[in-house]
């Protein structure tokens, strides 16, 4: 037990000294974060090299702990190997983040390099191949590597995306690492307990400079390895020797940054924006927009994380995963229902699901219309009025005011055939159907035409200067909605594309001339 306290204090002091050095390094090499008028609202230009200090303090702390020895004897060889690969991946992520902080990287290359950096730990360090949840046991087998890789990359980006407020990422990492240390001590995994304790000390030393108003930021060089570290430590500390990993624990422990990131992805995707494009709708932004100070918003989010951490510890001690899950869901539901965070995204998702449900409900009817159009294409020469009657019938369901179909020779303006219908009764015109009707005059005489709210137009060039076109207008989209308009448009296309222009007498006479 004495080594935990000693290493925490040593790493804290080292973290302070290294953070001061990283601050100067960021200024010397111009690795800086400049404020703007939108997302970055800090008061002054700030170095973003805090990750160098945290990672350096962690590596030094592990080396010193190994030199001191645990309980008077060297650390276990297998456990030390896991630690080495953990540190290798963390250092690689730190270097990747530092490059991104200085030169910038695209989203896809950055993601691929993250996978490459985490692979050493996933392939050679972690050993979790089984898990359980609520009494259900899962054997990952060969899926252990891709699942672990996905989890750790996600954790790295969870913390990276919430790093938008002074002290936030570091405080979340501190709460998680302290919780992991307690869990590891309870399970008797001394290696993970010591690693989490050392990381906690490094983060406390960094937070002395990062607390609002921050003198230095973590940057990607710190948020990426920090997210990876807390995700990896949570996995290892949650693993019980007999049953394997407790799935609920790491998820609940990181639920607040996961929820914030999930809402950001959902919000941007459903609004048609790039997932990688930042905005000011994260939880800390919304709290700041309510007039809260940076320190107050930070403490509020830390309080939420502390609640989930306490639930995880209770679930670990009592061996009841449902405690952590229930507390987590209750907290997230409170945030959404209280419109603190996630309410707009939830309503947006519900509206999209409703739209998808409406589309799915209309699929059988749309298929029937497709089949009708396909069936009538082959028989349109002899049954073109059948298709016209179907168009009129469906248009009436949409409260149509008028429909007009014209087949004409564009250059000469010769009308070869036309069909027309209005809400006062069906009208047909020209050869070979019947007498001509002035559609424009009829439209002007219709007292309801001026109030039309929907309009469909389609034209098809049929070759040899012939064009067929159809248009319709109506008052409203009733219960048939957009699906009804789609049905009507399908029939419009079928009529215009397949109208038998070769059988029109006027066309044959013109060709002969």
Cα–Cα distance measured from residue 224 to residue 160, given in angstroms and rounded to the nearest whole number: 6
pLDDT, residue 65, reads 84
Cα–Cα distance measured from residue 263 to residue 488, given in angstroms and rounded to the nearest whole number: 38
Cβ–Cβ under 8 Å, residues 211 and 293: no
Helix ranges, 104-189 (H): 107-120, 144-162, 168-187
Distances (CA, A) of 267 to 75, 106, 346, 411: 47, 21, 9, 52
Cα–Cα distance measured from residue 265 to residue 277, given in angstroms and rounded to the nearest whole number: 10
pLDDT, residue 87, reads 94
Strands, E assignment, 335-484: 400-409, 414-422, 425-429, 454-463, 466-474
Per-residue pLDDT of the chain (513 residues; tens, 9 = 90+): 677 888 999 999 999 999 999 999 999 999 998 887 666 666 688 999 999 999 999 999 998 888 776 444 444 444 567 888 999 999 999 999 999 999 989 889 999 999 999 999 998 876 566 666 656 666 666 777 888 899 999 999 999 988 888 999 999 999 999 999 999 888 888 888 889 999 999 999 999 999 988 999 999 999 999 999 999 988 877 765 444 456 778 899 999 999 999 999 999 888 888 877 778 889 998 998 899 998 999 999 999 999 999 999 999 888 888 899 999 999 999 999 999 999 999 999 999 998 888 778 777 777 776 776 666 555 554 556 777 888 888 888 888 888 999 998 888 888 888 889 988 755 554 444 333 444 444 444 555 555 567 888 999 998 888 999 999 988 865 555 666 787 788 888 888 888 877 655 544 444 444
Strands, E assignment, 17-174: 32-33, 46-47, 130-133, 136-139
Token digits for 57? 């303090």
Which of 8, 66, 306, 314 lies closest to 186 in space, CA to CA?
A: 314
Q: Name the CA dihedral angle for 148, 152, 153, 157, rounded to a multiple of 10 degrees.
A: 150
Chosen CATH of 363-512 out of 3.80.10, 1.10.287, 3.30.450, 3.40.30: 3.30.450
Identify the helix (H) or strand (E) that includes residue 244.
strand 244-246
Cα–Cα distance measured from residue 189 to residue 305, given in angstroms and rounded to the nearest whole number: 23
Non-local (6+) Cβ contacts of 128 within 8 A are 140, 144, 148, 235, 236, 239, 244, 245
Cα–Cα distance measured from residue 446 to residue 472, given in angstroms and rounded to the nearest whole number: 14
Tell me the domain boundaries of the chain.
2-247, 363-512
Distances (CA, A) of 49 to 35, 53, 168, 225, 347: 16, 7, 16, 13, 39
pLDDT, residue 52, reads 96
Cβ–Cβ under 8 Å, residues 221 and 48: yes
pLDDT, residue 391, reads 86
pLDDT, residue 26, reads 93
Indicate the pTM of the whole model.
0.75
Token digits for 507? 């066309």
Cα–Cα distance measured from residue 49 to residue 358, given in angstroms and rounded to the nearest whole number: 51
- DSSP, collapsed to helix, strand or coil, labels residue 30 as coil
pLDDT, residue 35, reads 80
Q: Name the CA dihedral angle for 480, 481, 487, 491, rounded to a multiple of 10 degrees.
A: 100
């Amino acid at each position: 037990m004495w080594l935990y306290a000693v290493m925490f204090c040593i790493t804290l002091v080292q973290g302070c000294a290294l953070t001061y050095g990283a601050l100067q390094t960021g200024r010397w090499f111009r690795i800086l974060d400049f404020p703007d008028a939108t997302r970055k609202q800090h008061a002054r230009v700030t170095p973003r090299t805090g990750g160098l200090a945290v990672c350096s303090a962690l590596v030094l702390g592990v080396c010193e702990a190994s030199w001191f020895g645990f309980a008077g004897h060297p650390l276990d060889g297998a456990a030390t190997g896991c630690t080495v690969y953990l540190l290798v991946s963390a250092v690689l992520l730190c270097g990747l983040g530092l490059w991104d902080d200085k030169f910038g990287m695209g989203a896809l290359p950055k993601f691929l390099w993250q996978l490459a950096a985490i692979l050493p730990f996933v392939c050679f360090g972690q050993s979790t191949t089984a898990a359980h949840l609520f009494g259900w046991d899962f054997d990952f087998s060969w899926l252990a590597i891709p699942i672990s890789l996905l989890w750790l990359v996600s954790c790295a980006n969870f913390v990276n995306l919430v790093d938008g407020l002074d002290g936030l990422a570091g405080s979340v990492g501190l709460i998680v690492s302290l919780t992991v240390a307690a869990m590891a001590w309870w399970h008797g995994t001394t290696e993970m307990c010591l690693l989490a304790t050392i990381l906690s000390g490094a983060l406390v030393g960094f937070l002395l400079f990062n607390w609002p108003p921050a003198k230095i930021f973590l940057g990607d060089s710190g948020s990426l390895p920090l997210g990876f570290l807390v995700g990896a430590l949570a996995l290892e500390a949650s693993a019980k020797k007999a049953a394997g990993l407790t799935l609920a624990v790491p998820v609940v422990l990181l639920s607040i940054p996961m929820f914030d990131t999930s809402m950001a992805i959902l919000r941007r995707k459903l609004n048609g924006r790039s997932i990688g494009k930042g905005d000011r709708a994260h939880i800390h932004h919304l709290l700041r927009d309510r007039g809260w100070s940076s320190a107050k918003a930070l403490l509020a989010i830390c309080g939420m994380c502390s609640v989930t951490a306490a639930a995880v510890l209770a679930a670990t001690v009592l061996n009841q995963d449902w405690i952590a899950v229930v507390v987590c869901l209750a907290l997230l539901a409170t945030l959404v229902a209280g419109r603190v965070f996630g309410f707009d995204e939830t309503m947006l998702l519900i509206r999209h699901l409703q739209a998808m449900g409406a589309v799915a409900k209309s699929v059988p009817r749309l298929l029937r219309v497709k089949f009708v159009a396909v069936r009538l294409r082959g028989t349109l020469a002899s049954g073109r009025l059948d298709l016209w009657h179907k168009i009129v019938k469906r248009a009436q369901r949409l409260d149509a005011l008028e429909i007009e179909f014209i087949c004409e020779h564009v250059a000469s303006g010769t009308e070869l055939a036309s069909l027309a219908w209005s809400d006062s009764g069906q009208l047909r015109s020209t050869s070979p159907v019947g007498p001509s009707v002035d559609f424009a005059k009829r439209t002007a005489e219709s007292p309801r035409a001026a109030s039309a709210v929907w309009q469909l137009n389609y034209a098809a060039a049929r070759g040899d200067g012939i064009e067929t076109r159809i248009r319709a207008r109506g008052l409203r989209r009733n219960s048939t909605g957009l699906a009804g308009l789609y049905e009507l448009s399908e029939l419009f296309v079928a009529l215009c594309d397949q109208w038998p222009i070769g059988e029109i007498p006027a066309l044959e006479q013109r060709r002969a001339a």
